[in-house]
């Protein structure tokens, strides 16, 4: 049985490179994992008052994560940090207290940017935030990727063998991480 992965993309825009990258990872992982993309486009900022009648975007997020074997966060870097939509998702999923969806779930983090640092700084901050909600975050290999024409086609296809190998190693380790830490 392939593992079900709840995938959070930190970019909402249609042409997102991070979404293309997640889809490329999905292709590489297809024999071992099924990606279930969580729609964060309607997720409001965290607001305790909304628990009286929680929005479908919040209940949908929690249901998808609860039904998954693991979580994959694919994040851009915004001003050397991860985008607020990821923080809101982590905060919503962590409540109500004692009924959060993250605790104990295996998790991996990656991301792409046209910038030279390959989202390394954003991923470090994402790791701290993920650990705070008790996700069990994979340590290595880290997968920092600079998106450019030599590595990727416009359609998100992977053109570079070394990049494909890095991505494959990341998925193989994630599969082992899920095997070790999943329920």
- The residues that touch ligand FNR, with contacts defined as CB under 6 A, are 11, 13, 16-18, 76-80, 113-115, 117
Alpha-carbon distance of 162 to 19, in angstroms, equals: 20
Q: Which is nearer to ligand FNR, 27 or 55 (CB)?
A: 27
Q: How far is the CB of 171 from ligand FNR (least distance, A)?
A: 19
Q: Which is nearer to ligand FNR, 2 or 114 (CB)?
A: 114
Q: Which is nearer to ligand FNR, 77 or 88 (CB)?
A: 77
> 71: which strand partners?
6, 107
Distance in angstroms between the alpha carbons of the first and the last residue of the chain: 14
Q: How far is the CB of 5 from ligand FNR (least distance, A)?
A: 18
Burial class (CB in 10 A: 0-12, 13-18, 19+), 1: exposed
Q: What are the C-alpha distances in Å from 135 to residues 102, 105, 149, 168?
A: 6, 5, 34, 22
Q: How far is the CB of 93 from ligand FNR (least distance, A)?
A: 21
* SS3 at position 158: strand
Residue nearest to ligand FNR (CB): 115
Q: Which is nearer to ligand FNR, 19 or 105 (CB)?
A: 19
Q: How far is the CB of 164 from ligand FNR (least distance, A)?
A: 19
């Amino acid at each position: 049985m392939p593992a079900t992965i709840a995938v959070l993309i930190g970019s909402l825009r249609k042409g997102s490179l991070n979404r293309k990258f997640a889809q490329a990872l999905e292709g590489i992982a297809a024999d071992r994992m099924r990606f279930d993309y969580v729609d964060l486009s309607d997720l409001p900022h965290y607001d305790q008052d909304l628990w009286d009648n929680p929005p479908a975007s919040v209940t949908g997020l929690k249901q998808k994560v609860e039904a998954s074997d693991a979580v994959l966060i694919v994040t851009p870097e915004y001003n050397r940090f991860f985008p607020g939509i990821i923080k809101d998702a982590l905060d919503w999923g962590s409540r109500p207290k004692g009924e959060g969806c993250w605790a104990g779930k295996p998790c991996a983090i990656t991301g792409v940017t046209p910038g030279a640092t390959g989202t390394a700084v954003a991923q470090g901050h994402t790791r701290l935030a993920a650990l705070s909600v008790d996700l069990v975050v994979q340590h290595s290999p880290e997968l920092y990727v600079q998106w450019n024409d030599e590595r990727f086609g416009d359609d998100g296809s992977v053109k570079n063998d070394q990049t494909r190998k890095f991505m494959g190693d990341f998925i193989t380790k994630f599969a082992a991480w899920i095997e070790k830490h999943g329920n």
